[in-house]
Amino acid sequence: RVERTLAMVKPDAFKHLGKILNAISQSGFRINNLRVCQLRKEEAETFYAVHRGKPFFEKLTTFMSSGRIAAIELVAPGAISKWRELIGPTDSNKARAEAPNSIRAHFGTDGSFNAVHGSDATDTAAEEIRFFFSQPSLGKCDLGR
Write the CB contacts of 143 (distance below 8 Å, at least 6 apart in sequence): none
Q: Is 16 a catalytic residue?
A: no
Is 96 annotated in a binding site? The answer is no
By CB under 6 A, name the one of 117, 125, 129, 138 that touches ligand CMP.
117
The residue range among 13-21, 68-76, 110-118, 135-143 that interacts with ligand CMP, by the rule CB under 6 A, is 110-118
Closest distance of CB 111 from ligand CMP, Å? 5
3-state secondary structure (DSSP) of residue 26: helix
Which CB sits closer to ligand CMP, 23 or 60? 60
Q: Evaluate whether 47 touches 64 at the Cβ level (below 8 Å).
A: yes
102: CB partners within 8 A, 6+ apart: 86, 87, 88, 89, 95
114 touching ligand CMP, by CB under 6 A: yes
- Please give the annotated binding residues for ATP, written as ranges: 10, 56, 84, 90, 104, 114
